[in-house]
Structure 1
Amino acid sequence: MSATTHMSPLIDDRLARRNAVLLALAQAIGGASASIVIATGPLVGYMMLGEDKALATVPVSAMVLGTAFGTLPAGMIMRRYGRRFGFMGAALLGVLAGVLASYAVFQDALPLFVFACALGGFAGAFVQQYRFAAADTASEAFKPKAISWVLAGGVLAGVVGPQTVIATKDLFSPILFAGTYLAQAGLSLIALCLLAFLQIPKPPKPKTSDKKGRPLAQIMRQPRFIVSAACGICSYALMSLVMTATPLAMIGCGLSETDAALGIQWHVLAMFGPSFFTGNLIARYGKERIVAIGLALLAGCSIVALMGIELAHFWVALILLGLGWNFGFIGATAMLTDTYRPEERNMVQATNDFLVFGFVAAASFSSGALLNAFGWSTVNWLVFPFVILCLALLVWLLTHERKGVATV
């Protein structure tokens, strides 16, 4: 029995449209928390630290780690209690994270601020599931549209977050950004109210037990898994490495907090905007080619960043960084889908996400130390060897698969 047939009692495109609109709005408002932390977290860390500024990017790293550790619990909680319960609980955590972060800024308490960012990251793991939830009750024909609507909310979140920073950073002057995190809590509260109107029935339990599938170690030994995971990790981790350091580098070069926030806004728009047609490009040109283009764009970001330290250099580099992430990460995710069978999907996806966010956290954590110890140029030079490695792996994979080796 196919998945579509099994789930047919839940298919309701009218309900799917309603849910997709609610989730898109929740994504635009509550999902803005991540861009707020990205734009301001390193600056808050920088202000709270003493002479040694190497740990300035720890707040962003904590947020990413929170997301990594929240990935598996998010799936388990929503399988047991339903989507709405999980999403509303996460939004409530987002409110608490914003309030704690604001209090930490007032008290100049870096450990509490880092904890608040981690808590917000844990809530963000549930936000990552919005796009899947939008398709839960949709027909096969409407699923792509439902997902696109939620992605549109992600684009709006890229605007809402930085604009919130600009509007509230001086609200409690001279204590910079204290008002921003109260505003973040308010955005999560609005998202909580929107999510209360979701209607996503829990799927019926299968009548027969699912196949267990192959051992995870066997799946991970596949060349296509190795290359797709490596390209996905590098695309996301390199993006995090450069993005996390950029606000600090911009301030260090004499630019303003507003310039940094707007740069993050353009970056997030570049990250999510192409998602509406990336799938079509993958279908037309192939997964590996799109991943390679994404890696080339990441290298292009560093080339532009190394050319100068004017505002235009930072903004163009951030846009290329977002585009490179979109093509590289989405293309690698599409490659990953070739490596597992339906009964292995949840296990492989969760493992891949845990690997990705683990490396992303390491990249964002090391970003501040690298910037502080070696400078902005070094951060960008580090991109090239990893890009070259991933391009070489793609060439190796294509050569390997031309010999007729099966992937699944």
Structure 2
Amino acid sequence: MSAVGGAGAEFVDNRLAKRNAVLLALAQALGGASASIVIATASLVGNSLLGADKSLATLPVSFMVLGTAIGTLPAGAIMRRYGRRAGFMGASAFGIAAALLSAYAVLDGNFPLFILGCAGTGFVGAFVQQFRFAAADTASETFKPKAISWVLAGGVLAGIVGPQTVIATKDLFAPILFAGTYLALAGLSLAALVVLFFLRVPPPARAASGAAIGRPLSVIVRQPVFIVAAACGVCSYALMSLVMTATPLAMIGCGLTQTDAALAIQWHVLAMFGPSFFTGSLIARYGAARIVIVGLALLAGCAVVALMGVEVMHFWVALVLLGLGWNFGFIGATAMLSRAYRPQERNTVQAFNDFLVFGFVAFASFSSGHLLHNFGWGTVNLLVFPVSAVCLALIGWLALYDRREGAP
């Protein structure tokens, strides 16, 4: 099915959308592995390079997230001007350079340079985050949630590729840990670039009238559905980042091993993306808001388990619940967001939404190391409860608003 209408009309072709979703899922598996690699290793690298003040050990992970936040608006602008394919391929090339810089920094023992390399990897992550939106570009309204979930399902493979890459390469340059891991990350970025070469996305639409330009962003963001979707996306991702960033250091601090920590991240990432095979179908059947509510409940469940003990199984079960909660909360919020914009507004709104998400995620990641170092693992997890409660209240407010306005 394909249709091209007047100015601002949406191009729809589900066959092309399915082809692109498969390619983007594979690219997600390769590009998404970079985040799990940095999360599993960067705080441990930082811990080994720092002196007495270990509260800064999570700084490389935080700068990775900050790099993603900084990259969201340029990513949207680049793809509006040059198209999805060119933007994604250029980002992959940049990712190769960032990974090589990180490898050199580890070998040289240069902590500031390592932070810069991680920030570059995060910048590329802003483009990876756009994969889910690119998959929906040519999809029909009924296929969009499935297209998004197909792409995020590629993270299942990333959940295996990333941590297993860490385990296989961490000792390549022994006694210097993880230098080989970042060389391997450069190879994954190269493979993603090759996959993205075969992507086919219609070129950016050219506005033919004022209507085709779309509404001002200031109007769009005042819509209740945007406010709630953005808030739920922000909170789901920020809570996940807060707990996940602290986990490797917390595990090592409790006497567990680096392999235990890497496997915890592996199970976490698998839980993040595994449900994506059916999350889209659940959203289509039950609605985005209900799925977000389930996600928030799972995030709270993670905190409950984490507060019950510090054995390896407590960490693993908590991180599985954390990943599941992120999946339902974030994919549900992404689907909810699609109600807030018109086709010609998508790039601007998606980029601004990701800017909000990763801005707050960066703040959560920065806070994680300090909270863990100064207040302990329990405090990190207790913060999940009030934030989840605020999101539930916002969803209730949106339901009342929709009922009053007769919205679907």
Q: Are the counterparts in 1 of residues 82 and 204 from structure 2 also a CA contact under 8 Å? A: no
Which residue matches 1:58? 59
Which residue matches 2:120? 119
Name the count of aligned residue pairs.
405
Which residue matches 1:283? 284
Q: Are the counterparts in 2 of residues 53 and 369 from structure 1 also a CA contact under 8 Å? A: no
Q: Does 1:375 align with 2:364?
A: no
**Structure 1 residue 348 displacement after superposition:** 2.7
Alignment of 1:97-136 (within 5 A): 97-136=98-137
Q: Are the counterparts in 2 of residues 210 and 343 from structure 1 also a CA contact under 8 Å? A: no
Alignment of 1:366-405 (within 5 A): 366-402=367-403, 404-405=404-405
**Structure 1 residue 29 displacement after superposition:** 2.1
Structure 1 CA distance, aligned partners of 2:329 and 2:306? 19
Closer/same/farther in 2, CA of residues 30 and 332 from structure 1, 3 Å limit: closer
Q: Normalised by the size of structure 1, how large is the TM-score?
A: 0.90
**Structure 1 residue 330 displacement after superposition:** 1.9
Alignment of 1:186-205 (within 5 A): 186-203=187-204, 205=206
Q: Normalised by the size of structure 2, how large is the TM-score?
A: 0.90
**Identity rate, percent:** 72
Q: Secondary structure at the match of 1:27?
A: helix
- Unaligned 5+ segments in structure 1 are none
Structure 2 CA distance, aligned partners of 1:287 and 1:138? 18
Q: Are the counterparts in 1 of residues 149 and 280 from structure 2 also a CA contact under 8 Å? A: no
Which residue matches 2:173? 172
Structure 2 CA distance, aligned partners of 1:199 and 1:214? 28
Which residue matches 2:158? 157
Which residue matches 2:182? 181
Which residue matches 1:310? 311
Q: Does 1:274 align with 2:270?
A: no
Which range moved further: 196-205 or 251-260?
196-205
Q: Are the counterparts in 2 of residues 236 and 356 from structure 1 also a CA contact under 8 Å? A: yes
Structure 2 CA distance, aligned partners of 1:148 and 1:226? 22
Structure 2 CA distance, aligned partners of 1:308 and 1:335? 36
Closer/same/farther in 2, CA of residues 192 and 227 from structure 1, 3 Å limit: closer
Which residue matches 2:80? 79
**Structure 1 residue 221 displacement after superposition:** 3.1
Structure 1 CA distance, aligned partners of 2:235 and 2:144? 29
Structure 1 CA distance, aligned partners of 2:17 and 2:250? 43
Q: Secondary structure at the match of 1:63?
A: helix
**Structure 1 residue 26 displacement after superposition:** 2.5
Structure 1 CA distance, aligned partners of 2:212 and 2:171? 57
Q: Deviations over 1:122-150 (max 9, x none)?
A: 11222222334345566778766655543
Which range moved further: 386-395 or 117-126?
386-395
**Structure 1 residue 367 displacement after superposition:** 0.1
Alignment of 1:294-373 (within 5 A): 294-373=295-374
Structure 1 CA distance, aligned partners of 2:83 and 2:331? 27
Structure 2 CA distance, aligned partners of 1:50 and 1:37? 21
Which residue matches 2:89? 88
